[in-house]
Structure formats: structure tokens, C-alpha cells
Amino acid sequence: MKFLDHLTFGQYIPADSFVHNADPRGKILGTIILLTGVFLVKHPSAFCIWALFLLGVILMSRLSIRLVMGSAKPVMILVLFTAFIHFLFTGGEPLFKLGFVKITYEGLRMGVYMGLRLLFLVLFASILTLTTSPMELADGLESLFSPLKPFGFPAHELAMMMTIALRFIPTLLDETDRIMKAQLARGADLDKGNIWNRLKAFIPVLIPLFVIVFQRAEDLAIAMEARCYKGGKGRTRMHPLAWKYKDTIGLVITISAVALLSFLDRRLWL
Amino acid sequence: MSIEIHNLKHVYHPGTPLETIALQGIDLSIHMKQWLTVVGHTGSGKSTLAQHLNALLFCQEGTIKVDSISLDPRSKQLRTVRQKVGLVFQYPEQQLFAETIYDEVAFAPRNWGVDPDTVAERVENALVRVGLNSSFYQRSPFHLSGGEKRRVAIASVLSANPDYLVLDEPTAGLDASGRKDLMGLLAGLREDGLGIVLITHDLELALACSEKILVLEHGRQLTYGTPENVIDSLLKRHVYGLLLPEVVQMSHELFLKGLDVPITGDEFLLAQVLIEKVRK
């Protein structure tokens, strides 16, 4: 049985790099623009350029390539499943037919494209969480949502919820790992048999996990109340966010790259 | 019949910024009917060592053999090893999931393919051993007190009939009487022939009940020997996060002041010697 990898989506790895030191608002906006860009392109060459762009960002962040790639491991099943669904259910010119299963050229292309898009999405988002501490991320999100506050938008509460969710991903993976080990030590077979047997075998893992999750949620709520947490009103920051010219340059380069690549994809390569 | 560990090394997240050497150069052997206690500060590698004994983790260097079965991820006898070495995790009550206590305790023997009659027998024996009678069988484990939940969790490991029992901080969160009951239970199990491996940071507990003690510091084996050897070693060199019991410190101070008393963790023995000296 292979246990859960601890270095996963949501983990922050501190380092002294351009990407780490950038303003979280710039990083969040940049990531959203990059993710939009990944879904705008349709040509194989454009995907190669995105891969090079990703490599450039990884090198600038001083994280190891293996570490960033490893963060996509937990969602690989989802990526493959999405690709597989596109293989099977996209109409078009059939490449081959086996009973009611029909694989088309368009299905293969769409499957590969959607798989790659999801993979890029996860990797770019991972770089954001690997290089931004949960606190910075919350501050950045709150600041970005703040223009909506006059319309009754709960900017602080939403940012806090997202931060807590991100913060608890590694913790819950640790808990899952511990419970899985405890049940394996009692002879549970979690990776044997057909899909139904495997799902059934996970009941001894899921029930204790739910109990722990609710317990932790309650403990956290009590701890926050005990420290007089009452939302964002009147709250000041120990380290106020400061936008630098480097952040402007980084964001402009990202927007330009996405715009140029989308333009080339539509006009020149198609 | 023994667990033999030679030159064990384990590194978490190798090749990443979070690389941590959890264990290095560990050599020890555990026999049946023997009580070994592993002590060390938080993060010294105690729990990592416990998981190696049950084949949940595998050594990256060195060897581990359980009753001559070499622990290797490709080994086909891993389930046999997990049956032989029962592992009680820290806060084992957090692993409970079944609707009834009977089903919870029967989980392990059913997984090993034991027939229903023997399962019933083992459930009864395991629950009796931890001091719970048949009135508990159909109750939900989630409606028990903290101490009772822990007893059910320990029974659910005992029902697999292990030859060795590894317990990771079993006394954490228990009151004095719960702790005493648990130690009594473990002493009884050792009398019945089980090898006990107790993982704790409580040196007083280790000195009181162990035949052998392994002291870990930052993943390295500092001392491995009898309680007397360990006291000698810790008196010579302070270990981060470990404090010798007051009675040991007191007997050592008296010894240094020229009084002929044994340096011991046994307060009754020390009191007896001192009373005799006063009488003389």
C-alpha cells in the first residue's frame, strides 16, 4: 500500500525568491490570468510554450521541479478521468469502434487537451500555494475582494474560510494517512479487490476521518472565539501589503504573454 | 522468536526542502515476554520506529526481521508480520468506526480470515483483558468515555492475537488511575508471553516497568540497555527533552554526598535503604 504523499497541494515551502517575495495580490491575479490563458489556447505548440512558461516560473521560484510536479500527483486520477471521458463521449470522425465504444479523432484531441489544461491548472495553482504562506494568501484575497465590501460581500469571512480550507489540506492528509495506517495495522486491505470492495474497505477510514474533521472544526471555532475573533471589522495588519514596481512588471509580463499567445493561437497557427 | 533491527535509517521527504532524517543507526532486538521502552523527546523518531516494527514504514538503510521474516515492501508476508506485531497508535480511540463494540473488536480477526466462532471467542477474551464485559458488546463505541474508548481500541488490536504489542504513547490523555490500569494490563500481557514495546517520553514510566530501554535523541540511538545502564548514561550526559525522575536525582545527590545508597528510580527501595541507615 502506498501512503499519501505529504508534499501536496496547499503546502507552503518558504524560500527567498522573486516569486516568494512578490505581492500575494499580484500572484493571485497572475495565476487567474495564467489559468484563463491555458483554457484559451487550442494548438499543440501553444501547450509547449505554456510548459516552458511553467518551467520559467518554477526556476524563478527556486523550487525543485520534482516537488512542483509531485504536487499534481493527488489529482492525476481526475486528470486522467477527464481525458478518458472526452475520449469516449466526443462526437466526430471515428478512428475505431468496439461495440458501442467509439473513439474519434476529435475525442482523442479534446481528451489530451483537457487533460493538459487541468494539469497546467493544478501546477500553476500549486506554485501559488507553494510560494505564498496561508496568511499572505488570506490578506491578498481579502484585499482583492475589498472593493465588493460596500455591496455586502463578506470579503474577510470568505478569505478566512479559503485560508482555513487551504491550511487544513495537509493536516487532513496527515490524519487520513494515520487512520489508514491504523486500519492497515489491524489487517484492513485497502487496495485489494474490485472497486466496490475497495470503496467498502475505505469505510473504516472515512468514518473516523469525519469524526476528526468535525472535532477539529469545533476546536478551531472555540479557539477563535476564545481569542475574541469577531470578523474583519477594525482589524489591522502586522505586515501590511505593499505593492512594488516589480509586481507591476511581473503582472504586465504575464498579461502580455497570455494575450500574445492567445492571439498567435487564433490568428497564426489555426 | 524476536524482532531484530540492524542499522535502521529512515528519511522523510528525501531530496526535497523538507528532508528530515527521522532515524539513523538504530540497532536493537526485542524478544517475546520482554518489555522494551523507547523514550525520547518530541520528534526524536519514536513513532517512526514503531511504524517500522509493523511494516507500515520500511527502512531505507539497514534491516528489520520479525521472527526471521525480513521486512521489505515486496515481501508477501507483510500481512503475517502485521498480525504478529500489533500496533496501538497514539490516541487509538480516533480509529474507531464500527456501529457496535463487538464489530469494532472483531474487525482485526475478521480481516485475518478467522472463523466466526473463534472471532467471538477472541472478542470476548480481548474485552475481558481490558476490563469490559459482555454488556458492552452492542453499545456504540462513540458513546463511551475517553478511557473506555481507548480500552476498546486496545482490545481491537489484541483480538488479532499478536505476539508483540507496540504501543505509541498509550498513556497520553489518561488520568492517574487509567494510566495505572493500563500499565497493569500491559504487565499481565507480558506475563502471558507477549513482547511489549512501549513508546513514551515519560522516563519515570520507562524506568519503572522496562527490562530494556532505548533512548533516542534527534533520531539517533543514544543508549540501549537496562534501566540501570540508562540511568548511568543520563547522569553523565543530559538528553534534550528528558528529565530523570526526582527520586533518581535525589539518590544521585545523596550518593555524591558520600552516602552509600543505590542510584535508583525505585522510591520504595531508596526509602527502605535510608530507613535502615537511620536505624543503624
Computed over every residue of chain A, the mean pLDDT equals 85
| B210: closest CA of chain A, how far (Å) | 24
CA distance B70 to B64: 6
Q: How far is CA B238 from CA B21, B160, B230, B235, in A?
A: 22, 40, 11, 7
Query: What is the average pLDDT across B99-107?
Result: 92
Chain B residue closest to A11 (CA)? B18
Q: For residue A67, count CB atoms less than 10 angstroms from its CB and return exposed for 0-12, middle for 13-18, buried for 19 or more.
A: buried
A150 touches chain B (CB under 8 A): no
More confident position, A136 or A10: A136
Q: Give the domain extent around B268.
A: 245-280
| A159: closest CA of chain B, how far (Å) | 27
Check residue A2 and give its pLDDT: 42
Cell numbers linked to B272? 527502605
Both B125 and B222 in one domain: the answer is yes
Both B226 and B201 in one domain: the answer is yes
Chain B residue closest to A66 (CA)? B16
Computed over every residue of chain B, the mean pLDDT equals 89
Question: Which residue type, as a one-letter code, is found at position B217?
Answer: E
Query: What is the average pLDDT across A149-171?
Result: 84
A187 touches chain B (CB under 8 A): yes
Q: Pick from B72, B139, B134, B76: which is nearest to B104 by CA?
A: B139
Lowest mean pLDDT among A50-59, A99-108, A129-138, B209-218: A99-108
Query: What is the average pLDDT across B267-280?
Result: 87
Both B260 and B214 in one domain: the answer is no
Both B180 and B272 in one domain: the answer is no
CA distance A64 to B49: 29
Check residue A9 and give its pLDDT: 56
Cell numbers linked to A12? 507552503
Check residue A10 and give its pLDDT: 59
Q: Where are the strands (E) in B32-106, listed by range? A: 35-40, 61-66, 69-70, 85-88
Q: How confident is the model at residue A7 (pLDDT cuts 50, 70, 90)?
A: low
Interface contact B18-A211, CB threshold 8 A: no
| B147: closest CA of chain A, how far (Å) | 17
Interface contact B17-A15, CB threshold 8 A: yes
Which residue of A177, A186, A189, A191 to mutate against B (max B Cβ within 10 Å)? A186
Query: What is the average pLDDT across A29-44?
Result: 89
Both B15 and B124 in one domain: the answer is yes
- Chain B hits for A181, Cβ within 8 Å: 51, 56, 89
Both B69 and B14 in one domain: the answer is yes
Q: For residue A227, count CB atoms less than 10 angstroms from its CB and return exposed for 0-12, middle for 13-18, buried for 19 or more.
A: exposed
Both B218 and B273 in one domain: the answer is no
CA distance B153 to B88: 8
Q: How far apart are the first and last CA of chain B?
A: 49
CA distance B245 to B204: 6
Check pLDDT > 80 for residue A96.
no
Both B238 and B268 in one domain: the answer is no
Check residue A57 and give its pLDDT: 92
CA distance A57 to A26: 14
Domain containing B120 — which CATH number? 3.40.50.300
- Chain B hits for A63, Cβ within 8 Å: 17
- Chain B hits for A207, Cβ within 8 Å: 97
DSSP code string of A16-73: -SHHHHS-HHHHHHHHHHHHHHHHH--SHHHHHHHHHHHHHHHHHHT--HHHHHHTTG
A189 touches chain B (CB under 8 A): yes
Query: What is the average pLDDT across B103-118?
Result: 91
- Chain B hits for A3, Cβ within 8 Å: 56
pLDDT digit string, tens, across residues B174-203: 888 888 888 998 999 999 889 999 999 888
Check residue A8 and give its pLDDT: 54
Both B201 and B234 in one domain: the answer is yes
Query: What is the average pLDDT across A139-167?
Result: 86
Check residue A269 and give its pLDDT: 59
Check pLDDT > 70 for residue A270.
no
Q: Rank A2-11, A83-92, B188-197 by mean pLDDT and report only the highest.
A: B188-197
Q: How far is CA A11 from CA A19, A132, A168, A247, in A?
A: 15, 9, 10, 23
Check residue B121 and give its pLDDT: 93
Both B21 and B143 in one domain: the answer is yes
Both B107 and B239 in one domain: the answer is yes
Both B208 and B279 in one domain: the answer is no
Q: How confident is the model at residue B244 (pLDDT cuts 50, 70, 90)?
A: confident
pLDDT digit string, tens, across residues A209-262: 998 999 999 999 999 999 888 877 777 888 888 899 999 999 999 999 999 988
Q: Pick from B116, B59, B54: which is nearest to B79 by CA?
A: B54
pLDDT digit string, tens, across residues A187-217: 888 777 778 888 888 888 999 999 899 999 9
Q: How far apart are the first and last CA of chain A?
A: 47
Contacts of A208 (CB under 8 A, 6+ apart): A179, B94, B95, B96, B97
Quote the number of domains for chain B: 2
Contacts of B255 (CB under 8 A, 6+ apart): B261, B263
Interface contact A204-B97, CB threshold 8 A: yes
Interface contact A67-B95, CB threshold 8 A: no
Lowest mean pLDDT among A65-74, B148-157, B205-214: A65-74
Check residue A264 and give its pLDDT: 86
